Amino acid sequence: MTSTSGQPIVSIRNAQKVSCDPEVSKGVSLGIMKGEVICTINPSGSGKVDSDPCVNGLNDVRSGSITVLGQEPVCR
């Protein structure tokens, strides 16, 4: 599957991850276009490690949505 011109390859909309701390990974929204390189810089404990497995389909999000090339990752 290929990206439609002008549409993000990865789209995260108001995603929240289930966590012990309700403030971790709360309401994350982001669009990544083809060819973009991004870096997440936040304080320790802000949810960086929790967010990546959600995009990769290794963890589910509690609410919101994550799509990669127009499809939701399947949680394994």
Q: Are 10 and 55 in contact (CB under 8 A)?
A: yes
Residue type, 45: G
Where does the chain show beta strands of DSSP type E? 10-17, 28-32, 61-68
Structure tokens at 23: 């403030």
What's this model's pTM, rounded to 2 decimal places?
0.68
Alpha helix positions (H), the chain:
48-55
Condensed to tens digits (0 to 9), the pLDDT of residues 41-67 reads 878 877 777 777 777 777 777 788 888
Quick: pLDDT tens for 1-44.
Answer: 455 568 899 898 888 776 555 555 667 788 999 999 988 887 88
